[in-house]
Amino acid sequence: MACLGGTRSSGGGSCCCAHPRRAQGDVYPLDLHEARAGYSCSLESGLHQTHPSGAAVLVGGYRWGAAATPKFAIVPLLRRRARVIMGCRDRARAESAARDILAELGPCAAGSAHDGDLLVRELDLASLRSVRRFCHRVLQEEPRLDVLINNAGIFQCPYTKTEDGFEMQFGVNHLGHFLLTNLLLGLLKSSAPSRVVVVSSKLYKYGEINFDDLNSEMNYNKSFCYSRSKLANILFTKELARRLEGTGVTVNALHPGICRTNLGRHVNVPLLAKPLLSFVSWAFFKTPLEGAQTSIYLASSPDVESVSGKYFGNCKEEELLPKATDDLVARKLWDISEVMVGLLK
């Protein structure tokens, strides 16, 4: 067992999202055996069979860079003739990423009957205004939506607020996706059978939902507030699945694994520890391609066509802690989130 370490939060009180038995600080247990175990998924019967005419897939919150996990989810979807919409905060970087993705497809990308379309659209999940503008455009331009992948993630950033005044991790990781999904539900329902895929994290285990301080204004611990946002992802998934029963729209959450991406750019690592962490990451962490497998599986496999409200890791359903299956908390979080994003006044 190893640990990722970083700076400790200021303030003497307990963090609103701290695990009651864990000291405050940017420290999580890291199971190196689990990190790369069982990443491979069988996708022999993929998206082209589930949606023969070519699926419309929206990736909300594309993270750029050569090591971005979403890139490796998008490539196989395009090869299955999907029409993929990348929602990205930085359009210039996103267009560069799109060129990389098309290059990854190789010479068959131009005019091949086996490749789909890739579109770049501006989407900043830290701005509810941007989310509404993005969804308005999607609803105007797209006749169908077969898969929505809620992918954006802010990890252990210093205390900052979104454009709308929400704590950044909760605002982007939960509220931004909450509004995005709700505004596109009508299109998803009319396109049924369709799917919502929510990228969460096994670190949800260290989060707690404190309704008295959802904005972390009394105390902020960046590690445990990230975990709280990931717990919120799962509670959102459970409640949305309940509300979508009988509609033909399924929703499932997943843990992508510990991947070699730039998601941890805000983690403070002592200078002398960086070479060790670099070695550990290359030796034990999943590659972005491996980390994308469960997202691809939930987006495309007929094995989960009628499965909803579940949590997956390494393309297999995993059991959740009781705090992630509390229906009363899930419904209360939904009701409060509706007010926070302006769906209810």
The owner of tokens 């960046």 is 222
- Which of 53-57, 68-72, 277-281 reaches the highest mean pLDDT? 53-57
In a domain, 300, yes or no: yes
Residue 272 neighbours by CB under 8 Å, 6+ apart: none
Q: Per residue in 227-252, pLDDT tens?
A: 999 999 999 999 999 999 999 999 99
pLDDT of residue 1: 29
In a domain, 38, yes or no: yes
- pTM, whole model, 2 decimals? 0.80
In a domain, 268, yes or no: yes
- Which CATH number is 30's domain given? 3.40.50.720
Residue 183 neighbours by CB under 8 Å, 6+ apart: 131, 132, 135, 139
In a domain, 345, yes or no: no
Q: Which residues are catalytic?
A: 226
pLDDT of residue 67: 40
Residue 18 neighbours by CB under 8 Å, 6+ apart: 24, 206, 208, 221, 224
Is 13 exposed, middle or buried (CB count within 10 Å of its CB: 0-12, 13-18, 19+)?
Answer: exposed
Give me the residues paired with residue 286 across strands. Answer: 259
Banded model confidence at residue 223, pLDDT cuts 50, 70, 90: very high
Distance CA 78, CA 147 (A): 13
Mean pLDDT of the chain: 80
CA 120 vs CA 20, 60, 90, 283: distances in Å: 42, 11, 10, 34
Domain range for residue 178? 2-340
More confident residue, 288 or 342: 342
Residue 157 has pLDDT above 80, yes or no: yes
The total of structural domains in the chain comes to 1
More confident residue, 157 or 45: 157
Pairing of strands 316-317, 311-313: antiparallel
Mean pLDDT of 164-193: 98
Banded model confidence at residue 178, pLDDT cuts 50, 70, 90: very high
The owner of tokens 């491979």 is 40
In a domain, 310, yes or no: yes
Q: Per residue in 28-59, pLDDT tens?
A: 444 444 444 444 555 443 444 455 447 899 99
pLDDT of residue 292: 79
Residue 139 has pLDDT above 60, yes or no: yes
